[in-house]
Amino acid sequence: MPGPLLGGRYRLLGPLGEGGMAVVHRGRDELLDRDVAIKVLRDQFASDPDFVRRFQQEARNAASLAHPNIAPIFDTGVDGAVEYIVMQLVDGPNLEAVLAERGRLPLAEALRIAVATAEALAAAHARGIVHRDIKPGNILLTRGGEVRVVDFGIARALGDSNTTNPGLLLGSVQYCSPEQVLGELVGPQSDIFSLGAVLHELLTGERPWDGPSAAGVALARLHDAPTPPSQIVPDLPEGIDGIVARALARHPAERYPSAMAMADAIREWWRGYRQAGVAADPRRATGRRRSGATGALPVAAGAVVGGVVAATGSLSTQTIAADRLPPSAGMASAGTMVRPSPLPRAGGPPPLDRGPDAGVRDDDRRRRRAAVPLWLLPLGAALLLLVAVLGLVGRLGLPGAGILGTTAPPQATASLAAIASLEASPSPAPDATPTPTPTPTPTPTPDPTPSPEPTPTPLPEPTAP
């Protein structure tokens, strides 16, 4: 049964999911005849000016952002006491539902999602907006497996000190940064920390800090370093630990300087990992194989939990150099399994288990192996000079001309072949220099001199009688 009509235009069709402040409904834009998602502020908060202001701020924040990995806002309004936000809709799961259904994700898939999320955050930070609640529930996937970041409900515009009371913890305790726990000023590095916590969970299936009480979980990040992912999942490469550890650094200054820097670091590491010889299955480097290691992301469309995502747009990771793969085909209908794009495939930095300058050393070694030994250079020049002199002798008709005859070009070819054979020899052999002999060339015979063609004898002219 159709629900109420908001603003004379948006028909509520049923709830999709809910959060702490609002309920998300499937809706219909009757003016433009399209399906939408409608986020409605809960009744108990609609009379609180602070919550209303925060809800309206979410609409303004998200509407100011244009990025393929951020769910766009279409409209916002008030109908009586009902505050609502209209956004683009696609049925698809959030990462919380995916993790609950599947557990940890394959390496390539986890990194692809992290890169796309980091790029979405970079776009928000460039507009001066900090999300402050990055968690699996706010990272959603379209039917094609593309990432959409949603819920800017507690986002803060940089420089706006009136939105949050000092000491108030906003954000999910399992993913919020130490500065949020302490009620300190937040910034872009706070979102980077939260994304690091999400990446840790995608890789391992476990949160970096967890426990029975929210207070204990919140305080644990102030004193305890998280367990490296490769110690939880032994077949993960150790190189990924450094990326997660830097994002989860205790102090903001020790984290990545920007969300885009984190995305770049992941891409760079992945290119090096691929270049190290890991084929489609990244676990091959450890000698163990697991199915699904290339990063296909099958999830049921019906597994959506509070999931509202944009229907169009492309993976932001496709905008990076030439090492990205195209997104996989989307689902034809609900319940079909999703297969999202794998991570970039390309060459890049050196292998994972060596230093950052290993690629330079490899290039030097390759150049040294490809270089011609210096002692071959004067020998080659002498051979070429000999060929030129002998050719000149032949053209001038001097003694020895019959040796070369018209075969100077083949002699030059033979000389170059001799250089090539010497290049593979450990030392020059005395007989490497070709000596002129009559064997390779034809001996002087009448053949070079064209024999005169018989000339017809003219008939005698008739004489006059």
Tell me the pLDDT tens digit for each residue of 220-229.
888 888 999 9
Q: Are residues 52 and 126 in the same domain?
A: no
Q: Are residues 351 and 377 in the same domain?
A: no
210: confidence class by pLDDT, cuts 50, 70, 90? confident
Structural domain includes residue 440: no
Helix (H) or strand (E) holding 149: strand 147-149
Range of the domain at 73: 5-88
Q: Are residues 102 and 45 in the same domain?
A: no
Q: Are 124 and 156 in contact (CB under 8 A)?
A: no
Structural domain includes residue 200: yes
Q: Is the pLDDT of residue 257 over 90?
A: yes
pLDDT digits (tens, 9 = 90+) for 407-446: 444 443 333 343 333 344 444 444 444 444 444 444 454 4
Range among 67-71, 167-171, 317-321 rated most confident: 67-71
Structural domain includes residue 450: no
Looking at the 3D structure of the chain, how many domains does it have? 3
Q: Is the pLDDT of residue 243 over 90?
A: yes
Q: Are residues 226 and 191 in the same domain?
A: yes
Structural domain includes residue 243: yes
Q: Are residues 260 and 296 in the same domain?
A: yes
More confident residue, 215 or 344: 215
363: confidence class by pLDDT, cuts 50, 70, 90? very low
Which phi and psi (to 5°) does residue 457 adopt?
Answer: -75, 125
Between CA 169 and CA 355 the distance in angstroms is: 41
pLDDT value, residue 325:
31
Q: Are residues 352 and 238 in the same domain?
A: yes
Q: Are residues 409 and 277 in the same domain?
A: no
Residue 55: give its domain's CATH number: 3.30.200.20
Among 57-71, 242-256, 279-293, 306-320, where is mean pLDDT lowest?
Answer: 306-320
Between CA 265 and CA 267 the distance in angstroms is: 5
Between CA 94 and CA 144 the distance in angstroms is: 13
pLDDT value, residue 30:
96
Q: Are residues 128 and 13 in the same domain?
A: no
pTM: 0.60
Q: Are 81 and 46 in contact (CB under 8 A)?
A: yes
Q: Is the pLDDT of residue 114 over 90?
A: yes
Q: Are residues 128 and 218 in the same domain?
A: yes
Structural domain includes residue 452: no
Q: Are 338 and 297 in contact (CB under 8 A)?
A: yes
Structural domain includes residue 187: yes
pLDDT digits (tens, 9 = 90+) for 61-106: 888 899 999 999 999 999 998 999 999 887 789 999 999 999 999 9
Task: Over range 114-136, report the average pLDDT.
Answer: 95
Q: Are residues 299 and 412 in the same domain?
A: no
Structural domain includes residue 431: no
pLDDT value, residue 302:
33
Structural domain includes residue 446: no
Q: Give percent of the chain with pLDDT exceeding 70.
A: 57
> In this structure, which amino acid lies at residue 365?
R
Task: Over range 27-35, report the average pLDDT.
Answer: 96
Q: What amino acid positions are annotated as catalytic residues?
A: 133
pLDDT value, residue 164:
44
Q: What is the DSSP letter of 420?
A: H
Both tokens assigned to 142: 């379209």
Q: Are residues 189 and 311 in the same domain?
A: yes
Q: Are residues 127 and 269 in the same domain?
A: yes
Among 28-37, 159-168, 343-352, 390-399, where is mean pLDDT lowest?
Answer: 343-352
